Homo-oligomer: A and B are copies of this chain.
Amino acid sequence: MAEDGSPEGGTKPLSRIQARNRRRILEAALDVFSQAGFRGATLDQIAERAGMSKPNVLYYFDSKDSIHVALLNALMSRWLAPLERLGTRAGEPPLDALMAYIRRKLEMSFEMPRESRLFAGEVLQGAPRMAPHLDSTLKPLFDEKCALIRRWVDEGQLATVDPEHLLYSIWAVTQHYADFEAQVGALTADQATARERAATHVDALFFRLLAPRQKT
C-alpha cells in the first residue's frame, strides 16, 4: 500500500519507465541487502548494480530505508504464499497437504536463497522494520493455520503434534539451506547430490513425525 517509490507517495498510475527502473532497483537491492545486511549495504552498491547513479536511485525511492521496506513488502506475499495455500485443496489428506507444503518450502529455499536471507537478516536483528508485518500479516495467518493443524490432529488425521513448533521446525529446517549456505557448502562432501539428499532427509524427518500412529 505505501511502498510507492515515486517522489510523492500518491496513487499515480505509475509510468512504464518508472516500473522498469523500480524493478531494477529492487532487484539490485535484493542482491546487496541479502548479502551484506541492511547496515552493510550501501546506496552506491545498489546504484552500481542497478546500472544507475545514486541520486537517480533516490529519485525513485525516498531513502535507503524505504527501499528495504519496499523489498520486504513486495516479497512477503511470495514468501507466505505456500502457507496460505496449506489446506485449501478440497479433499486432500492433511498429511499430503503438509508434506507438499514442506517440499515447496524446501524448493523455495534452494531457488530463492536471497529472499530467505533477506528475511533471516531482518529477523536476526530483531525485525526492526518488519514488526508491523509480523503482527498484521503473519500472525493471523499463523494462528489460522495452527488452528487448522490442531483440528487435523484432533480428527486423528495427523500424529499428535504442537502446531506452533511444527511450523517453526519446518521453517528452520528448510530455510537453513539458504541462510547457512556458506556453512552447508563448506561441510557437504558431495555437492552434486546435496539437494536431492536434503529433500529425502526432510521428507523422512517430518513424515515420521506426522504420520498418524495406528489407531486403537
Contact = CB atoms under 8 A, between A and B. Distances in A.
Interface stretch (A11-19, A47-55, A64-72, A162-170): A162-170
A195 to B, nearest CB: 11
Report, as a range, how many residues of chain A touch the other chain.
Answer: 35 or more
A202 B209 CA distance: 10
Contact of A197 (B138, B165, B177): B165
A147 to B, nearest CB: 11
Contacts of A168: 173, 176-177, 180, 184, 198
A142 B184 CA distance: 11
A183 interface: yes
B169 A205 contact: yes
Contacts of A202: 165, 169
Interface stretch (A20-28, A33-41, A74-82, A93-101): A33-41
A171 interface: yes
A142 B176 contact: no
B126 A197 contact: no
Interface string A153-167: 000000001101110
A39 B125 CA distance: 12
A204 interface: yes
Contact of A172 (B39, B172, B186): B172
Interface string A99-142: 00000000000000000010011011111000100110011001
Complex A-B, nearest 4 residue pairs according to Cβ-Cβ distance, in ascending order: A39-B40, A172-B176, A165-B201, A127-B182
Given A39-B40, A121-B121, 20 more contacts: A35-B125, A37-B124, A39-B39, A120-B120, A120-B180, A121-B124, A123-B180, A124-B124, A124-B179, A124-B180, A135-B186, A138-B186, A138-B187, A165-B202, A168-B184, A169-B172, A169-B205, A204-B209, A205-B205, A208-B208
